[in-house]
Amino acid sequence: MGQFTMEKEYTYFSLRTILGFLLVFLFQRSTEAQMCSSEKVTSIKENNVVGAVVTTITRQDGVTLTLTSNPANSFEMNGNNLTAAIVLDFENTKQFTVTIECKRNEEILPLDIVIIVENVNDNEPVFGQREYTLNVSELLPIDSKVGTIEATDADADPLIYRLEPSTTGFKLQGNSPNILVQKVLDYDTVKRVTLTLYAQDSPTSTPPSFTATATIQVNILDVNNRPPWFQPCNEIIEGMSKICLNSGYKSKVNLTEQEVGPLQLKPGPLYAIDGDKGINVPIRYRFVAGNEAEIFQISENTGNITMLKAMDVEGPLTLTVMATEMTNADHFATTTVNIVVVNKSKNPPQFEKKEYEGFISADSGINSMVLDGKSSNRPLRVQAKDADFADGFNSNIRYEAQEGRGFSITPQGFILMSQNLEPGPVSLQLKAIDSSNEESSIAMLMVEVTPDRVLGAPGGYGPGEMASLGVSLAVLLVVALVIIGLLLFRIQKSKTAWRKLSEASIFRSYLGKGPGELKDGVQYTNEGFQNDEDNGSVGSKGPDEKDGMKASAGNQVTPKAVDEMITKVSAPLYTNLLSVTSSLADSDKADSEKEVKPILTKERRMEEGYKSVWFKEDIDPNAKEEVVIIPDNEEQESDDNDDDDDDKEEDQSKEEEVDDNLSPQTPNVFFSDDWDNKPRARFEDSEDEEMQTDDL
């Protein structure tokens, strides 16, 4: 208990002693403040001007100021002012502490002042080196960090980073110098990327601003992630994966023959490459199917296929080949080799020419045919023949045209333009292939693509074609004119026939009992009216043919009856003829379009084909003078010549009628131009060719 009391009293004493000393110190400081005073801590910007005031000391009268502590003599007293004696640099010294002694009489008071140098942006950011290299593997996940490139600033300012270009597959992590993957990289697409990194010490809106730059070369590294690819192949991208499709190989061998050396394959030699082209691992080859008979062997390193023995069976034969990476057996690929076994022929197909020439206009259009001449419309056709066939025709021949030249060839050998071409010559190779054994031959084709449509091209005509067309049109015109002439001639003849028919009908009617009636047992005909094959004339028919009825044998006409009839014909006939003429004239006038001419006229007309009854002089109808009807002999002769064939047929018909005694014989009336000072008419009996002439 006593011990506890002593410890408590000692503690109380210590606190009292401390409080006493504190009061003495405060009293002393208060006394010093009365002599001089200043800011305890002050600042000045670096890069200052010599003599710049750092701070001002407040002092009482009689107090002197002395700079007793001055690091590197950086400051000096000018009166009450503490000034900079040198240019301060923040990067060298960031803070100073100086001591100023205040003295009055024997009383001295030290005054400590802390001087802080303020930083000014007077230094550019700096990268450790101007160029950097980064190696980045392809297929890295997005946002994977691939490197950090940082700049430094002596002013210790925070830096702002920027990476360009921003579309190369990389980006920065916020405002840091960390570089990340922006998208999945593919070595086959991009193998190297060049970036520029910028470091800026302050925003451009706060001058001054300094920027540092660095160049970054990024190398994309290939990753072993793909199997071998047989060549040639068609690359296909599926998402982030890329595959290459090969359609296989073809070859042909002859039955019972062993090929020497590597087989010739199509579309090319068998070989594969590493799908990861940047790694390019070596490939090995082997058969996996199809070579059970061990006829073929394959080189493990090159892929060349050779024959160990001849084929003894007909094909085709399919070999399956596998390519494997030597360093990774899990990376492999397979393909097929189709072997066609054929019987060797003696002659391959051969083109008819080694070189062909064709022409086509540039504006002909796609699928237009190439022509065999500039002024020809005939398409160019190439053909190959096979001497193994008697006629040279081999149905297994197919044609191929060189690709990429703008032309194609049909199975029949016609050349077509497959794309629009500029004017000028185009040469290409044509190939004829025997599909049964793949034997082939080649020929060259030179096509002249003309700038404008050639005359012989579709839609144009050459001089030869124009001349042929003109001749054809001329021939057609002549033929048309001849046909028109014949038609007009036939029409004229038809008019003449109708005219004859009318004349004969009128004459017959007035020789009978009345108009339209025939005398019993007699009929008069005038062969002068039976012209131009006018077998249908009224005068050519006998009474047995009239109205489909036959005359009886008792009505047969005799020469005596004819004589009696002639003596009865006298001047009153003239009167009747005149009346008929008047009626006929009226009919002709009404039907002028038919141009029917009257048979009675006072003028003798010499027109060909014109038949008429005319009078030499005017005759009084009441005078009862005898009249002789005389025909125009020239007209008679012309008509007789034209109707020779008809007369022969009629004579034959008349002879048959006489023999059969089925119908009366009709006397023919003829006219003579011999006047003998008296008008006369002549009647000739066809049966005995007896001619009688009597006065009318």
| Per-residue pLDDT reduced to its tens digit, 61-102 | 888 899 999 999 999 999 899 999 999 998 889 999 999 999
What is the number of structural domains in the chain?
4
Q: Name which of 180, 181, 175, 146 is nearest 160 in CA terms.
A: 175
57 with 112, same domain: the answer is yes
Indicate whether 251 and 278 sit together in one domain. yes
359, 277: one domain: no
Q: Taking 50 as the threshold, does the pLDDT of residue 221 lie above it?
A: yes
pLDDT top residue among 360 and 7: 360
- Is the pLDDT at 299 greater than 80? The verdict is yes
- Same domain for 393 and 353, yes or no, is yes
Most confident of 122-131, 604-613, 670-679: 122-131
Span 377-405, average pLDDT: 90
Lowest mean pLDDT segment, chosen from 169-173, 308-312, 574-578, 585-589: 574-578
Predicted local confidence at residue 130, as pLDDT:
93
Residues 235, 329: one domain?
yes
Percent of the chain with pLDDT over 70: 64
Residue ending a domain, among 88, 118, 148, is 118
Residue 661 has pLDDT above 60, yes or no: no
Q: What is the pLDDT of residues 236-251, one digit of tens each?
A: 888 778 889 999 999 9
| CB 99 within 8 Å of CB 77 | no
- Co-location of 424 and 363 in the same domain: yes
List for the chain the helix, strand, coil content (%; round to 5): 20, 30, 45
Neighbours of 87 (CB within 10 A): 12
DSSP character string of 351-372 = ES-SEEEEEEETTS-TTPBPBS
Least confident interval from 21-30, 442-451, 461-470, 642-651: 642-651
Domain with 393 in it: 349-450
Which tokens go with 334?
């397979």
The per-residue DSSP string of 588-645 comes to HHHTGGGTPPPSEESS----TT---EE-SS---TTS---------HHHHHHHHHHTHH
Q: Which stretch of 23-27, 80-84, 236-240, 369-373 has the lowest confidence by average pLDDT?
A: 23-27
User: Are residues 391 and 326 part of one domain?
Assistant: no
Q: Is residue 622 part of a domain?
A: no
In a domain, 525, yes or no: no
Q: Is residue 549 part of a domain?
A: no
Give the CATH number for residue 54: 2.60.40.60
Q: Which residue among 118, 136, 167 closes a domain?
A: 118
Average pLDDT, the chain: 76
The predicted pLDDT at position 547 comes to 41
Residues 169 and 80 in one domain: no
Q: What is the pTM of this model?
A: 0.41
The predicted model gives 15-35 an average pLDDT of 59
CB 599 within 8 A of CB 612: yes
pLDDT surpassing 60 at residue 149: yes
Least confident of 63-67, 220-224, 390-394, 526-530: 526-530
Lowest mean pLDDT among 174-188, 274-288, 407-421, 462-476: 462-476
664 assigned to some structural domain = no
The secondary structure element, H or E, covering residue 151 is: strand 151-152
Q: What sign has the CA pseudo-torsion 348, 353, 357, 360?
A: negative
Q: Quick check: bond before 316 cis, omega within 30?
A: yes
Specify whether 356 is located in the same domain as 415.
yes
| pLDDT over 70 (residue 651) | no
Please answer whether residues 328 and 223 qualify as being in contact, where contact means their C-beta atoms are separated by less than 8 angstroms.
Answer: no
Q: Which of 342, 369, 404 is the C-terminal boundary of a domain?
A: 342
Residues 54 and 131 in one domain: no
- Asked, for residue 470, whether it belongs to a domain, the answer is no
- Of 686, 669, 693, nearest to 563 (Cα)? 693
In a domain, 185, yes or no: yes
Residue 341 vs residue 616, higher pLDDT: 341
Q: What is the pLDDT of residue 156?
A: 81
Residue 266 DSSP label:
B
**DSSP labels, 547-560:** GG-PPPGGG---HH
In a domain, 640, yes or no: no
Residues 236 and 336 reside in one and the same domain: yes
Q: 692, 672 in Cβ contact below 8 A?
A: no
Q: Does pLDDT of 168 surpass 80?
A: yes
Residue 491: pLDDT band (50, 70, 90) is confident
pLDDT of residue 603: 53
Read off the pLDDT of each residue in 288-292 and give the average, rounded to a whole number.
94
Same domain, 329 and 251: yes
| Residue 385 domain-assigned (yes or no) | yes
100 vs 649 pLDDT, higher one = 100
